[in-house]
Amino acid sequence: MKISCLLNSKPVDFTTYSDKPLNLLLSEESEVTSITPGCSKGRCGNCIVLIDEKPRLSCLVPAFQISGKSIQTFEGFAKSKWFTDIRRAYEKHAMHPCPYCYAAKSLLIHSIISDNTDPSPEEILQAMKINSCTCISEDHLVEIVKTASMFRRRRRRVRRS
């Protein structure tokens, strides 16, 4: 099956199996290396990508569903200004996710603070629960997301003014 889509803002074509999971498609048939190979069953939450700006578990998305869509992986996201807010939050708390979940956690935090300018601890933990890696404690995770959210609010304020 031939599939055309945008991958990190660049048009790409894949000739692949129609039902191939997106995580495998990206890690085996593109230059993407940020997708951590995991359970492939929607349990570990380490294969998150943004599809049309929304976070998705790429292991649960078949190749045929991405036709015409815009896919952003951590490689693309890391170059954006939005990642700066998250990176600064990690640095401020001197706490970084482990390499296994770094990409997934960063994309998840981005999706939380994009939808909600001031997420509550419950909302943060509920949204982050999809990622099963325990390298950062829940308390620290809440602090990091809160800080990233503050940086994001400031950025928006600056842009508006």
Partner 1 sequence: MNTVTYITAMQRPKMLYGYILRSTIAHGTITDIVLPDLSKDFLVITAGDIPGSNALRVFDEIVPLLSGEQISYRDQPILAVFGPDKESVTLAVSRIAVSYEASESFDPDPEETNTGRQRHISWGGPQEILQQAEDVVEYTYMTGSQRSPVGPPVGAFAEPTDAGMEITTSSMWPFHVRSTVSEVCGLPKRKVIIHQLPYTPTVGEHLIYPSIYAALAAAAASATGRPSRIIDPYPAFRPELIITRRTALNAEHLPSAESVDVQINQGAFPLFADEIIEHVIAGITPSYGLDAFEATIHTVKTPAAPRSYYQGLCFPLALFSSEAHASNLALYSNMNPVNWRLRTLEDAVKRPAHVLRLRSVIMKDLLEQTVKRSDFSRKYAVYEMQKRRNRLISTFTGYSRGIGIASGRGINGFSTHFACERNYAVSVRLDVNDQVTITTSIMYSPAEVLWRTAAGTLLGVNPAQIQIRTSQNESANSGPDVLHRDSTIISVLITRCCESIKSQRFKEPLPITVKRSLKRAGVSAQEPVKRPLFHYVSWGALALELEIDPVLLRPVIYGVWCTLSCGSLFDEQAMTNTICSVIQDELTVLTRSETGSITIDAIDIAFTVHEETLSVNPIPNVLGLLQAAYTSALTQAMNRSFTSIPSGPQEIFEAIGE
Partner 2 sequence: MYEGVRAPAVFTPATINEALDIYQRYPRSVLWAGGTTLMGQLRPYPSHDNLDILYLGNVKELHRISRNERYLEMGSMVPIQRFLAVGQHILHPVLSDACRQLGPEIIRSQSTVGGNLCHPSQRLNIGTALMVLESQVEIRDSQSAKASTRWVPVNRLYKRDGSLGLIHGEIVTRIRVFFEEANFQLFRSLGNPFYHPELAVLFAVFAKYEKSTISEFRFALSFPMIDIIRSKDLETAITSKDLPLSSKEISHLSTELYEVIRAYSTKISSVQKTRACRAFEQALQDLNAQVLMS
Q: Applying CB under 8 A, which residues contact partner 1?
A: 17, 20, 24, 27-28, 33-34, 36-39, 43-44, 74-75, 78, 94-100, 102-103, 125, 129, 132, 134-138, 140
List the one residue out of 37, 38, 41, 30 whose CA is nearest residue 7: 30
Using CB under 8 A as the binding rule, the residues of this chain from 118 to 137 that contact partner 2 are: 126-127, 129-130
Report the partner that residue 28 touches, choosing among partner 2, partner 1, none (CB closer than 5 to 8 A by kind).
Answer: partner 1
* Residue of 6, 12, 40, 95 interacting with partner 2 (CB under 8 A): 40
List the one residue out of 3, 2, 47, 5 whose CA is nearest residue 27: 47
48-56, 82-90, 93-101, 152-160 -> range binding partner 2 (CB under 8 A): 48-56
- Locus of tokens 């620290």: 140
List the one residue out of 101, 9, 99, 2 whose CA is nearest residue 50: 9
Beta bridge pairs of residue 7 = 10, 71
**Residue 79 near partner 2 by CB under 8 A:** no
